[in-house]
Structures are given as C-alpha cells and as structure tokens.
Amino acid sequence: MKYDNDRLGAALKMYLGTEPLPMHMPGHKRNPDVISNIFSRDITEISGFDNLHSPSGLLKDLEDAAAALWNKEHAYCSVGGATSMILSAVCASAICNPDSEVLVAMNCHLSVWNALAIAGSKVVPLMPAFDPELPFAGQITPAEVENQLVRNPRIKTVIITSPTYEGVMSDTEQIYKITKRFDACLITDCAHGAHLGLDNGFFGPDAAGDIVIKSLHKTLNAPTQTAVMLTSKDCPVPEGVIMNFIDIFETTSPSYVLLGGISRCIASLTKTKDIMKPWEEGIRYAEDALSGLRNYKLWMAPVRERSKLVILGDGLKLATNLRCDYNVECEAAFRAHLIAMTGIGDTMDSIKRFCDAVIRLDELQDSSDMSEDIKYKGRPQPKFLTTVRDACLRGMTAEEAPLEESCGHIAGEFLFAYPPGVPLLIPGEMITDETIKFAKNAGSDLYMNGRRSFDGKIKVLP
C-alpha cells in the first residue's frame, strides 16, 4: 500500500486550519498560553480521525501501510511503546494455549517477564550461546530451540530477542521454520531493529516470527513511545484475540501527537527513495575509522546489527571522557563495553564527531591504565520452582533478606539491570551462589519491582 503523503498529518493540518472550537478533551484546548505549540495537534478521537482500538479510516490506512512496509499480514500501531505490544502478544498466545508452557530466552526484556507474570504460564528457560570473548550474551541458536521443543511437546510459545541491546542477532528465519514444525508461536522482540527489512540488508536481516514487535523510536524518525506489532499470514494467534489484549494494554486515550509521528515516519520511509543511504554511509565510515583503535576495540562480528557501535574496553571510563571532554552522550556504558546507538537522523558530520572523539581518547589512553579484562561468565541456568505469577503474588507480602544471604531461597521479586532492562533474578527462580555472583557483577544500575533502586535486599520465599 502506498503511503507517501502523511495522511494523518495532512488531515490534522487541514482540520486545525479551520480553527475549530474544541469542546472536548484534552483540557489545554490547544491554547498557546497554557501549552507548548509542540502539542498543537493534540486532539482526541473526534469525528473523522478514527479510533486506534477499532481502526477503519486514517489509522487503518496507517496500519496497512506499516504492514506493507515490512511485508507482513497485519500491523498494529502503539503509543505505549513496544512494552504494551509485548504484553499483548505474550498474553494473547498464552490464553490460546491454556496449560501449555513457554520457552523464553533468558536475555528477554523485563516486559516479557511481566507479561508472563500476568499470564501465569510455566516458563522453560532458553539459554543464549556463551562467547567468552564477549562481555554480553550471545545469540539464540536454532539447534537449542529445536532441542527444547523435541524434549517438551507442551511448549506452544517461544519468545526471543533479536537484535539484542548490543546488536547480537539470532537466525530468526531458521528458528521460525523450526517453531512452525512444532506448531509453536514465535514471538520476536525486535524493538531495536525497526530499521531492519527496510534496506538491502546492510544492517542485517529482518526478524522473522509469527509476531514481531518493533520500537519505531529507537532507530527511526518517530517520537519516543511509538511502536508497531507485525503479524504473519499464518500467525496461530487469531487477530481478534490479539486485538482484545491490545485493548487491555493500550491506552484508551491515544496521543495524536504520537500517532502523527508514526504517520510521518511511515510516510517518509515510503516516499523517500534511499532514505537510509546516508546512514549506511556513516556506518561504513565509522567501521573503517574505528577499526584501528589500539586500546579499545570495535566489536565487528560477522553477523550483528550494524547500527550499534559497540566498543569493547572500559566503557565506564570511555563514556565519562566522551561526556566531559567532548559533550558526547552514549546509550549505555558498562565495565567492559560501551554502546553508541546510531539512527536514521545521524549525518556523516555527527558520526565523524563521535569517531574523532573516540579515536582521540584512544590515542591519549595509556594501555597500562586500562582496567583489567572482565570476563562475562554468562547467566547461570535458572531453576524455576514455581510460576512467575505465583512468586510475584507471594512476594508482595514476603520478607526481605540480604542478597548475599538468600542462597537456597526462591526469588519473590525481580532484580534487573537498567539498561537494558533484562532481569538478573526472576520471581520463582531458585537463588544460588552463581546467580548472586552474576547479579552483583552486572555492571549497571540495579532496580527492583516498581523501579526502586536495589538496596542490597530482595524479597524471598521460604
């Protein structure tokens, strides 16, 4: 479907040009004396502007255009980020397969685990491959997915993340073929790969799956909190069930500022030929410029999501120096690596500025001052003694214990690292010496349920 003129944006401009009197919410009434002009298009679901929960006009055209853009059967727009779509997808698949089990990659985002806490499904852990040369989790292998499905015919939902926060990509096409053979629904969290599938494969192959969720704002030209859920033609979860859960988790007051941002994004990707070429040229430049680093090292795996510039070395020190000396703010920094995200809005100038700063800091760095290599041990294989939901419910009234003294207990709440928002301990999981060490060595800010900072204690079940 052709969608090259930002239909929603054009309709908003025409409507507001008539200077209508808004006797409806929102309460700012588009009055420039009380609200920024950024929100001049902040309307509600008035006549002629469709309904995100039952699209049949402008928003239906927008979703059809998004489906066509990524070559999928259906698309569902979200103003609640990828989180609301992940919650919807996981719960929809779970309710279609009562008493089944869910195979979940252990490097999935917290939103996946929150969905499983709601659904009450029994979890079968899926371990990412381990690479001792990398300070983060590797890919999910098709062989391991197949092994799990062969061993456990009760698995009817498989959830993976590709690409990961660091840009690790799994062979989702092969995994998808395997899950089809076993009549399991594959949900792929592709939040960091909205741009995949829109070029000739420069950044990497697009993610496959029955349900694929993409955050439009992470790498494309859409505002924060916008996302899209894409479903395949033979998705085993009925469209009505998916829409039912979207109704539950999506706001009933969707922002037309955000929807307008989605419209502009989809229109620009449809209209402008080779819109991603300047971005690709910038990445080629960066890979060449940073390949000669002496003290740090640019991660250059043969299969990876290339928009992420992941620099191995003392990421915390490098991030601090970039911020203080060059006014460059990176996505995330850890003890053994730094993540710099690029996006469709980058220019050759912006990427050169980043590269020049890194190269200069690398030259000034005394190799003897580099921190000792920190080897990633890999997440320990978890043992779940109860469902995530049961442990969450019991954990609400459970006693807290110091993490160091909780070995042998069952976790009663989440402990997760942010960024990237991946749990280190999951409710229902047996706490072991290995999991305690893994959590303490996470190397980023730790949080508990409700986003409160980790104070050294965790709720445990007897």
What is the CATH classification number for the domain harbouring 426?
Answer: 3.90.100.10
The residue among 210, 215, 200, 205 whose CA lies nearest residue 262 is: 215
Residues 88 and 104 in one domain: yes
Residues 220 and 249 in one domain: yes
Domain total of the chain: 3
Measured from the Cβ of residue 364, the count of other Cβ atoms closer than 10 Å reads 10
Q: Where is the domain boundary, 271, 292, 319?
A: 271
Residues 282 and 352 in one domain: yes
* Ranges in the chain, pLDDT < 70: 1, 367-376, 443
Residues 348 and 239 in one domain: no
pLDDT digits (tens, 9 = 90+) for 133-149: 899 999 999 999 999 99
Q: Does residue 376 sit within a domain?
A: no
Sheet holding 422-425, edge to edge: 422-425, 415-417, 446-447
Sheet holding 297-298, edge to edge: 297-298, 308-312, 337-341, 332-333
The residue among 419, 120, 136 whose CA lies nearest residue 299 is: 136
Q: What pLDDT, on a 0 to 100 scale, did the predictor assign at position 373? A: 58
Q: What pLDDT, on a 0 to 100 scale, did the predictor assign at position 423? A: 96
pLDDT digits (tens, 9 = 90+) for 266-325: 999 998 878 999 999 999 999 999 999 999 999 999 999 999 999 999 999 999 999 999
Residues 186 and 260 in one domain: yes
CA 234 to chain centre: 24
Direct distance between the N- and C-terminal alpha carbons of the chain, in angstroms, rounded to an integer: 57
Residues 154 and 79 in one domain: yes
Residues 107 and 189 in one domain: yes
Q: Does residue 379 sit within a domain?
A: no
Sheet holding 457-461, edge to edge: 400-402, 457-461, 410-411
Q: Does residue 374 sit within a domain?
A: no
What is the CATH classification number for the domain harbouring 338?
Answer: 3.90.1150.10
Using DSSP's 3-state secondary structure scheme, residue 339 falls into strand
Residues 364 and 404 in one domain: no
Residues 21 and 135 in one domain: yes
Q: Where is the domain boundary, 246, 271, 296?
A: 271
What is the CATH classification number for the domain harbouring 53?
Answer: 3.40.640.10
Residue 187 main-chain phi, psi, to 5 deg: -105, 120
Q: Identify each DSSP E strand in 83-154 by its residue range.
A: 101-105, 122-126
Q: Where is the domain boundary, 369, 402, 417?
A: 369
Residues 265 and 281 in one domain: no
Domain with 110 in it: 7-271
Q: What pLDDT, on a 0 to 100 scale, did the predictor assign at position 371? A: 56
The residue among 257, 253, 221 whose CA lies nearest residue 39 is: 257
